[in-house]
Amino acid sequence: MTPSIASEGSLLRIDALTKSFGGFVALDNISVEVRKGERFGLIGPNGSGKTTLVNCISGVLRPNKGVVLFRDEDITPLPPNQRARRGIARSFQIPRPFKSMTVMENLMVALDFAAGHNVLEPASHRRGTAMSILTRMGLASKADEATATLTQVELRKMELARAMATGPKLLVSDEAMAGLSTSEVDEVLDLLMSLAGEDIAIIMIEHIMQAVMRFSDRVMCLDAGKIIAIGSPTEVMANLRVQEAYLGT
Amino acid sequence: MNRNNIAFWSGAVVFLAAVLVMTRTIGNEYPFFAGYVILQFVVLSVAWSILGGYAGYVNFGTNAFFGVGVYTAVLLVEEFGAPLGVQIAVAALVGSLLGLGVGLLTMRMRGIFFSIATIALAIIIETSVTNWRFVGGAAGIQLQRPAVMPPFDSYVKMLFFVQALLVVIAVATTRAIQNSRIGRGLQALRDDELAAECTGVPTLRLKLLACAISGALISAGGAPAAMYLQYADPSSAFNLNYSISVLAMSLIGGTAHWVGPVLGAILLGVTQQLLAVTISSEVNVLVLGIMLVVFVVAAPKGIIGLLRRWSPLRAKDRS
């Protein structure tokens, strides 16, 4: 790995990133690159630093050391809202809908603030955009429902739809399939696969291995804040340290 | 201009015209004296709901902003003999700066911690004013009303009209926020600040904006009180009852729509005025408390919540 040299088509570059909470080092000198349109799987046992990495990418946490470059621009000091406007979207491990709003209004927040729409553009245009995203996600019939009425899988899709409405170049999906049934996992996975097709890179954090294997171009495995393997899904799965981290010795 | 806007502004014009006609036709000053207080509470409640309702930051320091409005007016009158319009405009400016300051100081505070910080602010400002001799200190200060301007024949009537004008300004501002993307952003940050931030909402900037606008309107609403009472003293200008009344009015009316605080302020304001003349002004607070308890239990979303349950007025129809 030569993180200091930007390769062709690099979208996100993380360079020597370290994040610690008090004496606990959650991420230890992480360097990695995600390419444009890439499907990137992020795995690792609980507490290995996956969500901390996501938080450093989306701007929720500031790293102690290291830089985050997005489209060749240093975004390390930027707050999450500016990163969202530059094209980094995320979903949350536990869905965080805007509870007092309908599904449509949830998406309108993203369209109003992140998607770079002209302020003078009529609201009906934005509604149209929101509706077409909802249709793709299979949520069109729920557009005017309150988020409280949604099922778990619908909430997950709503979060992805809201993230898509920000017009992202990079979508970070933090365990969007946790707690879903097998058929629902396939449903969400198909959605993510179809989204990745169009110039959007996706970082998928997941514990469900079949999903990671099917989805990813490349997989990275974290353990105790360090990268223990990175490469094609089969390579990473064959790695002894990965098996050790997951299964124990 | 769409149909809602036309309806709103025609309503505002009719309201102001009616107020003007009242000042010309009713001779007795008392209705204006009482009505002024009700209109003042409409301004305060509507302004409070920008931060407390839309953004979900419960401000207990309404009295701080109110008192700052009063004392800005006092200072301007004493120092420069400034006219009423200038008093209100400068009070709004000072109130917005104070709001901005509160927002910056309490940047990372949420929920009860924010509320406690605003109470602390009120106490600090009140203590400072109490020790400021030029504006009268603890003993307060007497003020001389200047001559009334035509077409009004009494100063109280003029103040009533001015406060009505402030009602229109406050409601129009709040309505504009509610219908704009700022309103949606505030609602998003109230629901989930982190999710809002990650969806592109500049939460800090919106919070500061809400603090500044809310503060400006509350201080502007308080400024004419100096001339209304012809007297100002710290313990009444910074009375915690303002905070409690405004909170109760907003919550009883409902904060989901700007109509809520207006209805709440009228309902409670009228009740208070009636009680003050029929029983005693001390009973006010008791009735306020009881009504608040009843509403919190029976109608947590206030009058607006009840109306929405009974009528087809849905959340979609924002006007």
CB contact under 8 A, A114 and B204: no
Q: Is the pLDDT of residue B319 over 50?
A: no
Average model confidence (pLDDT) for chain B?
90
Q: Looking at the complex, does the CB of residue A93 fall below 8 Å from at least one CB of chain B? A: no
Quote the CA–CA distance of A15 and A29 in Å, as a whole number: 8
Asked whether the predicted pLDDT for residue A202 surpasses 90, the reply is: yes
- Cα–Cα distance, B276 to B157 (Å, whole number): 20
- Does pLDDT of A7 surpass 60? no
- In degrees and rounded to multiples of 5, residue A231 shows phi and psi of 160, -160
Q: Say if CB B293 and CB B285 are below 8 A apart.
A: no
Nearest beta carbon to residue A113 from set B185, B192, B194: B185
Determine, for residues A113 and B201 on separate chains, whether the beta-carbon distance falls below 8 Å.
Answer: yes
Condensed to tens digits (0 to 9), the pLDDT of residues B51-97 reads 998 998 999 999 999 999 999 999 999 889 889 999 999 999 999 99
Are the beta carbons of B200 and A79 separated by less than 8 Å? no
The reported pLDDT for the residue numbered B250 is: 93
Yes or no, beta carbons of A81 and B188 under 8 Å apart: no
Is B190's CB within 8 Å of A144's CB?
no
Question: In the structure, how many helices (H) and strands (E) does chain A have?
Answer: 9, 10
- Taking the model in full, what pTM does it have? 0.89
User: Cα–Cα distance between A1 and A65 in angstroms, integer?
Assistant: 19
For chain B, the domains span 3-241
Interface of A with B in 150-209 (CB under 8 A): 162-163, 166
3-state secondary structure B57-79: CCCCCHHHHHHHHHHHHHHHHHH
Strands (E), chain A: 10-21, 24-35, 39-43, 65-70, 73-74, 88-91, 170-174, 201-205, 218-223, 226-231
pLDDT tens digit sequence for B198-231: 999 999 999 999 999 999 999 999 999 999 999 9
Q: Which of A51, A54, A61, A81 to mutate to test the interface with B (most CBs of B within 10 A)?
A: A81
Residue of B nearest to A115 (CA): B200
How far apart CA B266 and CA B263 sit, in angstroms, is: 5
Question: DSSP code of B53?
Answer: I
Domain A10-96+170-247 class, CATH top level: alpha beta
Task: Identify the residue whose tokens are 């003020």.
Answer: B143
Residue whose C-alpha is closest to residue B263's, from B210, B219, B299, B312: B299
Predicted pLDDT of residue A2: 42
Gap between the Cα atoms of B282 and B267, Å rounded:
18
Chain B CB contacts of A110 under 8 Å are 199-200
| pLDDT more than 70, % of chain B | 97
Residue A119 — pLDDT band, cuts 50, 70, 90? low
Q: Give dist(CA B163, CA B41) in Å, integer.
A: 10
Count of C-beta atoms within a 10 Å radius of residue B280 = 10
Confidence of residue B1 (pLDDT cuts 50, 70, 90): low
Cis check: omega of the bond before B151, within 30 degrees of 0: yes
Residue A108 has its nearest CB partner, among B184, B202, B203, at B184
Asked if B89 and B242 count as a contact pair (C-beta separation under 8 A), the reply is no
State how beta strands B141-142 and A226-231 pair: unpaired
Interface test with A, best of B198, B257, B301, B318 (most A CBs within 10 A): B198
Q: Between residues A162 and B111, which one has the greater pLDDT?
A: A162
Beta carbons of A183 and A167 less than 8 angstroms apart: no
Q: Which residues of B touch A89 (CB under 8 A)?
A: 198-199
Query: For residue A78, which residues of chain B lie inside 8 Å, CB to CB?
Result: none
Minimum mean pLDDT range among A76-85, A117-126, B152-161:
A117-126
CA distance A209 to chain B (A): 27
Interface contacts (A, B; CB < 8 Å): 80
Residue A162 to chain B, least CA–CA distance (Å): 8
Query: Exposed/middle/buried for A159, CB within 10 Å: 0-12, 13-18, 19+?
Result: buried
Between β-strands A39-43 and A201-205, what pairing exists: parallel, antiparallel or unpaired?
parallel
Residue A11: what are its φ and ψ, rounded to 5°?
A: -105, -50
For the ranges A93-102, A176-185, B124-133, the lowest mean pLDDT is seen at A176-185
Please provide the size of chain A in residues.
249
Does residue A199 register a pLDDT over 90? no
**Under 8 Å between Cβ of A73 and A86:** yes
pLDDT tier at A6, thresholds 50, 70, 90: very low
| Contact call for A79 and B197, based on CB within 8 A | yes
Q: Chain A residues with CB inside 8 Å of B196's CB?
A: 98, 109
B38-47, B55-64, B270-279: lowest mean pLDDT where?
A: B270-279
- Per-residue confidence (pLDDT) for residue B315, from 0 to 100: 45
Domain range summary for chain A, segments of one domain joined by +:
10-96+170-247
Cβ distance A85 to B195 less than 8 Å, yes or no, reads: no
Surface of A (131-150) touching B: CB under 8 A: 144
Closest CA–CA distance from residue B190 to any residue of chain A (Å): 8
Q: Are A52 and A26 in contact (CB under 8 A)?
A: yes
Q: What is the β-pairing status of strands A201-205 and A170-174?
A: parallel
Is B199 close to A60, i.e. CB distance below 8 A? no
Residue of A nearest to B200 (CA): A81
ipTM of the complex: 0.88
Q: Is A98 on the interface with B (CB under 8 A)?
A: yes
Read off the pLDDT of residues B84-138 as tens digits, 9 standing for 90 and up: 999 999 999 999 999 999 999 887 787 889 899 999 999 999 999 999 988 888 8
Residues A156-185: what's their mean pLDDT?
90
Contact assignment for B191 to A101 by CB distance below 8 Å: yes
Q: Quick check: helix, strand or coil at residue A109?
A: helix
Interface touch A81/B195, C-beta < 8 Å: no
At residue B311, does pLDDT exceed 70? Answer: no
Question: What local confidence, expressed as pLDDT, does residue B215 receive?
Answer: 96
Residues A70-96, mean pLDDT to the nearest whole number: 93
C-beta separation of B239 from B140 below 8 A = no
List, in order, residues 6 or more apart from B232 with CB less than 8 Å away: B70, B71, B74, B135, B136, B140, B141, B143, B225, B226
Structure tokens at B253: 């009316």
* Res A195 pLDDT > 70: yes
Give the contacts of B312 (CB within 8 A, at least 6 positions apart). none
Place of tokens 């008392």: B30
Q: What does the pLDDT look like over A203-216, one tens digit per residue?
A: 999 888 888 889 99
Minimal-distance CA residue of chain A relative to B186 = A109
Kindly state the percentage of chain A with pLDDT values over 70. Answer: 94
Contact call for A81 and B198, based on CB within 8 A: yes
B141: left (phi over 0), alpha (psi -120 to 50) or beta: beta
Binary contact (A98, B192; C-beta < 8 A): yes
- Tokens representing A228 are 């223990």
Q: Taking a C-beta distance cutoff of 8 angstroms, is the pair A81, A27 a contact?
A: no
> Hey, of A98, A101, A108, A164, which one would you mutate to test binding to chain B, going by the most B CBs within 10 A of its CB?
A98
Place of tokens 């965080």: A96
| Confidence category of residue B238, pLDDT binned at 50, 70, 90 | very high
Q: Is the pLDDT of residue A116 over 80?
A: no
**Minimal Cα distance from A100: which residue of B?**
B191
Is residue A118 within 8 A of residue B215, CB to CB? The reply is no
Distance of CA A210 to the CA centre of its chain: 18
Minimum distance, in Å, between the CA of residue A146 and any CA atom of chain B: 10
